Amino acid sequence: MVNFRTIKFANRIKIHTFANENKQKFNCMKKILMLLLAVLMMFAFVACDNISDSKNPATDVDKTEEEKHTEYVSLLESKYAELETKMNELTDAHDALKIEHEALVAFKANVDKKEKEALIKSFYMLSEDLKKDVVENIDSYSLDDIEAKLSILCVRHKVSFDLDNNTTVEEPTTYSLDVPTVDNTPEWVKAIQNHVAEN
């Protein structure tokens, strides 16, 4: 038989695991972007040093310093635009994951609250005054805390687990066709008895 609490606990773990996986994916994407940015910065510095260190007369004749500078600036601008595009994509992915995470947290809180309320209702034998502390702190107490507190209250107040202490078990009504007609016998039983007597 499947335990209802085990299923609830497994669902809570799934929601928590899903949220952690999304957070890990975002952190991984963030680290990759930072690493890519660092590599591009190193590439830019190396390219700058190579351009300034090169003393090739053919290159110097073909390109002036201003052309080299313009070419270098355009290269950096294109790399910057590429990085900015990737950063925007990662930011959009992060925002989507954040919204999804918030929705999951709200859903989990709602499910937990319903479970807690159902547990509190299952302790019907306790008065509302005794359950007041638990009801007021339903969001701060865990499901196990609520069960423990209410169980302790039941033991301390020697609560009966019957719905009504005054209820008596009624004996089932039985009829026999062999016994003469009794005043409280239903009409349909009397009709059957008369029919049997005639035959």
Q: DSSP state, 130?
A: T
User: Where along the chain do its domains lie?
Assistant: 4-122, 124-163
Rounded CA gap, 160 and 144, in Å?
Answer: 22
Rounded CA gap, 46 and 43, in Å?
Answer: 5
Contact criterion met (CB below 8 Å) for 120 and 94: no
For 190, the token pair is 């009397």
Q: Examine the pLDDT at 139 and tell me if it is beyond 50.
A: yes
Q: Which residue has the higher pLDDT, 199 or 79?
A: 79
Rounded CA gap, 76 and 73, in Å?
Answer: 5
pLDDT digits (tens, 9 = 90+) for 159-196: 776 655 555 557 776 656 565 544 577 788 888 888 88
Contact criterion met (CB below 8 Å) for 39 and 83: no
Q: Examine the pLDDT at 61 and tell me if it is beyond 50.
A: no
**CB atoms closer than 10 angstroms to residue 34:** 10
In this predicted structure, what is the pLDDT of residue 11?
60
